[in-house]
Amino acid sequence: MYPITHVDTNSSLNTIYQFIYSFFQVSKHQGNTDDIFKANNNISIINSPKNSPIIICVIGESFIKRHSSLYGYPLKTNPNLEKEKDKGNLFVFKDVVTPYPSTNENMKIIYSTWSSYDTVAWSSQPLFPAIFKKAGFKVALLDFQATRSRSSFMFDFHCSFFINPIKIHKQCFDFRNDSIFQHDGDGLDIYMNNLFHFPKSLNIIHLQGQHLPSEAHFPKTPKWEKFKDTDILRPDLNEKQRMQIASYDNCTFYNDAVLKRVITSFAHEDAVLVYFSDHGEQLYDDSRNVYGRTFGIFSRERIKSINEIPFIIWVSDSYRKNHPDKLKLISNAINRPFSNDDIPYLLLDLANIDFKGNKPERSVINQNFKSHDRILIEGNQKFNYDSNKEELDTIQMLIPYCK
């Protein structure tokens, strides 16, 4: 009834099939890429700052909000981020959702300046890296899930078909990695020095994160196998299920160290980092006993686990000193309702870029921010999150029962 939807495409589909599938899908979406190229080409910059802090955008993967100790989870899964919060350098946003339950759909709206309540096509709006580049910024992308040259063609289509055509690639990026990694730390080992560390630069990092099966995405060493099945006090679950939760929490602990590593590399510069997850997961967190994402069912429990996501902004000491007005705006925004589809407007706001067609009221930190009903989408189905929020907030989740 509740299928496990995570499939390793490399093992379940042969390369010829992947190539044929990807070729078909990319051909099918040729119109999208043509529209995106035109929209990017028509970007008109109104204001580009002479100087700007370094902007870092880190896109997480499959991060269940309630498995973060930043949000009250009883196991210390985010010790490094908690330290940054205690220092006053990290701001935890309380009410952020993502419109889609899948990476491929969310990546489109994260990159595009389109929002889920717009009436025009998503591909008719420019991509935010192209706006940054047009404004004179250097832009780097480290994507540890998909690249332009990866052999898993089908997975590349799902994650990044719309930025892979060379004409769009050139509009958006000055550097892009050409290898992927099962462990995010390994990717940082290779590519950390390719990130830009100077004013008027944007660095985008897309992690493997806690993608299920999460035990595949952190090193199997005592350092990272911090939590055991005995730490999960859930008598309603068997040993295997408790171990799956412990592995997920270990992966979250590892993800915390990955984020800390990125933060440390920019700690002595004028920098601001935005981190959020593309979606969450279901991990036996309610009475349905579900593992993995399910599709086609807008259940309230699924929304709590998958669509409600962690969202943080980190700032360096230099940023705190140099941008007190922006710091105050960030601090005042942590309780505002926000959605992943307006990420571009936040990043552009942080960089002080203005362009023709800009909608600064969609930036959660902007003094003119206007909240709106957040719409969750799957196929032809739509669900108004905000008109159902009172009911959603009454749902009892089971995850707090840990040591």
Question: pLDDT tens track of the chain, all 403 residues?
Answer: 333 333 333 333 344 444 444 455 555 566 788 999 999 999 999 999 999 999 999 999 999 999 999 999 999 999 999 999 999 999 999 999 999 998 888 999 999 999 888 889 889 999 999 999 999 999 999 999 988 765 444 445 556 788 988 899 999 999 999 888 889 999 999 999 999 999 999 999 999 999 999 999 999 999 999 999 999 999 889 999 999 999 999 999 999 999 999 999 999 999 999 999 999 999 999 878 899 988 877 888 999 999 999 999 999 999 999 999 999 999 999 999 999 999 999 999 999 999 999 999 999 999 999 999 999 998 888 999 999 999 999 988 876 555 5
> Amino acid identity, residue 194?
N
**DSSP class per residue in 10-27:** HHHS-HHHHHHHHHHHHH
Asked, for residue 397, whether it belongs to a domain, the answer is no
Cα separation values, 99 from 67, 166, 189, 306, Å: 20, 28, 33, 10
Radius of gyration of the chain (CA): 20
Asked, for residue 94, whether it belongs to a domain, the answer is yes
What is the value of pTM for the model shown? 0.91
Q: Name the domain count of the chain.
A: 1
Domain containing residue 252: CATH number = 3.40.720.10
Please report the beta strands in 352-402, taking only residues with DSSP state E, as ranges in sequence order. Answer: 354-355, 375-378, 381-384
Helices 30-41 and 15-28, axial angle in degrees (round to 10): 60
Asked, for residue 344, whether it belongs to a domain, the answer is yes
Asked, for residue 403, whether it belongs to a domain, the answer is no
Asked, for residue 1, whether it belongs to a domain, the answer is no
- In this structure, what are the phi and psi dihedrals at residue 246, rounded to the nearest 5 degrees? -60, -40
Asked, for residue 2, whether it belongs to a domain, the answer is no
Asked, for residue 386, whether it belongs to a domain, the answer is yes
Asked, for residue 128, whether it belongs to a domain, the answer is yes
- In this structure, what are the phi and psi dihedrals at residue 203, rounded to the nearest 5 degrees? -115, 125
Which residues span the domain enclosing 110?
9-392
